[in-house]
């Protein structure tokens, strides 16, 4: 079909209008989100407890203000109790780990030196010519050994500094606690007011918005709720199971700092294709080759095998029952989000993909393309 010049001008104008709206929306959100994020979180909390509030209204005949207040008190009590317990235990274990780490790293450093300098080791046989040269040039040998010791000492120092920085970060968190508490109070007050007024707010929104926008928006929000919250729920369930299994396994193996390691492994388990193996496998190898603890090394491998079996058997069921993302799509979303937005991009990336999928399923992109071409929206 031939397109006239006037039609091309109309297409370009409509395309430019959409681009302008998109750019304006981006900058408006960039400005508004830092100011309004407590109220956005409050709205999410209000929506999360809304089914329970309606249940209390219908079954127990509680007034809405009582149902909303009760659910918010329960959420606040559970979250605050868990945070206090976790932070207290993690601080204690990290403090012990900071005292424990240097001696183990020093032992690891000494082992590496023995491997490189002992003539009876296999590695030394492979670099026999280098050793011969060093023996013939003792001044160079002293320089190399000194350099190795210096670099290994730096590794030890960096490892200790990393633990110290984590503890300092927790201290900074405690310093900012008054501000954090104020934000939390605002979030829960916003959740309270939104929860109380939600029926009226929803009726106002339905009255103001056109019927087509309500229908499309309802499809998008429903799909996002099912996909996003279902995906998040499935992943949280998986990492919780992983952390609990790791905690129990480390307790059985008699490992100190079991809770801290379990939390770290649970977080690492979010990484597609890496998961718990990124922690347990190197730890097992270190325990066997450098620590001389065969029992711990074998126990960690057995624990890793149990985690693989449990996760593989549960992941298909949990994710298939929710409209989530496959591992490759998740990995791409995580990487792109990390590069564009930093650490918070690990959340923004997958969320953005879920939203785009929801918009596609609601035919929003199709309607925008029809708008650009100038077609009627009523065509199927």
Residue 172 has pLDDT above 80, yes or no: no
Q: What is the pLDDT of residues 60-88, one digit of tens each?
A: 888 888 889 999 999 888 888 877 777 77
Transcribe 274-293 into DSSP letters: TTTHHHHHHHHHHHHHTS--
Q: Locate tokens 């424990």: which residue?
A: 100
CB 294 within 8 A of CB 240: no
Lowest-confidence region among 171-185, 251-265, 314-328, 341-355: 314-328
Q: What is the pLDDT of residues 329-352, one digit of tens each?
A: 777 777 787 788 776 676 677 778
| Percentage of residues in the chain having pLDDT higher than 90 | 2
Strongest mean pLDDT among 28-32, 172-176, 272-276, 341-345: 28-32
Structure-model confidence comparison of residues 40 and 320, the more confident one: 40
Give Cα separations from 192 to 60, 62, 185 (angstroms): 20, 16, 10
For residue 380, what pLDDT is reported? 43
For residue 338, what pLDDT is reported? 74
Q: How confident is the model at residue 90 (pLDDT cuts 50, 70, 90)?
A: low
Q: How confident is the model at residue 188 (pLDDT cuts 50, 70, 90)?
A: confident
For residue 119, what pLDDT is reported? 56
Q: 239-273: b or e for each residue (b if 16 or more CB lie within 10 Å)?
A: bebbbebbbebbeebebebbbbbbbbbbebbbebe
What is the rounded average pLDDT of the residues 180-193? 88
Lowest-confidence region among 95-99, 247-251, 264-268, 279-283: 95-99
| Percentage of residues in the chain having pLDDT higher than 70 | 68
For residue 131, what pLDDT is reported? 61
Mean pLDDT, all residues of the chain: 76
Lowest-confidence region among 33-42, 46-55, 306-315, 339-348: 339-348
Alpha helix ranges (H) inside the chain: 5-59, 64-117, 122-126, 128-136, 138-175, 177-208, 211-224, 230-253, 258-268, 277-289, 294-320, 327-341, 345-361, 364-373
For residue 226, what pLDDT is reported? 72
For residue 170, what pLDDT is reported? 67
Structure-model confidence comparison of residues 137 and 221, the more confident one: 221
Residue 26 has pLDDT above 80, yes or no: yes
Q: How confident is the model at residue 204 (pLDDT cuts 50, 70, 90)?
A: confident
Distance CA 283, CA 12 (A): 59
Distance CA 161, CA 158 (A): 5
Strongest mean pLDDT among 227-241, 253-267, 290-304: 290-304
Residue 379 has pLDDT above 50, yes or no: no
* Residue 309 CB-half CA count within 13 A: 7
Distance CA 284, CA 58 (A): 54
pTM to 2 decimals?
0.56
Residue 283 has pLDDT above 50, yes or no: yes
Q: What is the pLDDT of residues 288-319, one digit of tens each?
A: 776 677 888 888 889 888 888 887 777 656 65
Structure-model confidence comparison of residues 271 and 6, the more confident one: 6
Name 297's Cβ contacts closer than 8 Å, sequence gap at least 6.
284, 285, 287, 288, 291
Structure-model confidence comparison of residues 359 and 155, the more confident one: 359
Q: How confident is the model at residue 370 (pLDDT cuts 50, 70, 90)?
A: confident
Residue 376 has pLDDT above 60, yes or no: no
For residue 179, what pLDDT is reported? 83
Residue 203 has pLDDT above 80, yes or no: yes
Distance CA 158, CA 144 (A): 21
Name 210's Cβ contacts closer than 8 Å, sequence gap at least 6.
none
Output phi, psi for 3, to 5 deg: -115, 125
Give Cα separations from 307 to 233, 255, 265, 276, 314 (angstroms): 19, 17, 11, 8, 10
């Amino acid at each position: 079909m031939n397109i006239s010049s006037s039609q091309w001008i109309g297409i370009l104008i409509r395309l430019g209008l959409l681009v302008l709206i998109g750019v304006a929306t981006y900058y408006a959100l960039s400005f508004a989100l830092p100011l309004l994020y407590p109220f956005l979180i409050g709205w999410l909390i209000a929506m999360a407890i809304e089914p329970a509030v309606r249940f209390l209204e219908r079954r127990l005949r509680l007034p809405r203000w009582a149902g909303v207040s009760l659910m918010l008190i329960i959420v606040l009590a559970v979250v605050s109790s868990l945070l206090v317990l976790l932070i207290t235990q993690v601080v204690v274990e990290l403090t012990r780990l900071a005292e424990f780490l240097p001696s183990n790293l020093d032992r690891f450093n000494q082992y590496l030196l023995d491997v490189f300098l002992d003539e009876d080791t296999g590695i030394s046989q492979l670099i026999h010519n280098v050793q011969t040269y060093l023996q013939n040039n003792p001044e160079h040998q002293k320089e190399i050994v000194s350099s190795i010791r210096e670099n290994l000492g730096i590794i030890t120092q960096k490892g200790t500094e990393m633990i110290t920085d984590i503890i300092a970060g927790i201290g900074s968190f405690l310093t900012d606690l008054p501000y954090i508490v104020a934000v939390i109070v605002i979030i829960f007050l916003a959740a309270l007011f939104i929860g109380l007024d939600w029926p009226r707010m929803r009726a106002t929104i339905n009255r103001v918005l056109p019927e087509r926008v309500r229908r499309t928006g309802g499809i998008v929000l429903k799909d996002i709720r099912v996909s996003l919250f279902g995906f998040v729920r499935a992943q949280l369930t998986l990492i919780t199971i992983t952390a609990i299994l790791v905690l129990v396994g480390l307790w059985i193996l008699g490992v100190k700092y079991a809770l801290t390691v379990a939390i770290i492994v649970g977080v690492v388990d979010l990484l597609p294709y890496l998961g718990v193996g990124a922690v347990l496998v190197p730890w097992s190898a270190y325990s066997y080759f450098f620590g001389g603890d065969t029992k711990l090394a074998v126990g960690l491998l057995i624990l890793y095998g149990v985690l693989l079996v449990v996760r593989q058997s549960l992941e298909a069921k949990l994710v298939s029952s929710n409209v989530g993302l496959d591992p490759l799509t998740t990995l791409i979303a995580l990487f792109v989000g990390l590069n564009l937005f930093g650490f918070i991009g690990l959340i923004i990336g997958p969320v953005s993909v879920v939203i785009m999928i929801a918009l596609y399923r609601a035919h929003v992109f199709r309607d925008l393309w029809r708008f650009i071409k100038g077609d009627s929206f009523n065509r199927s």
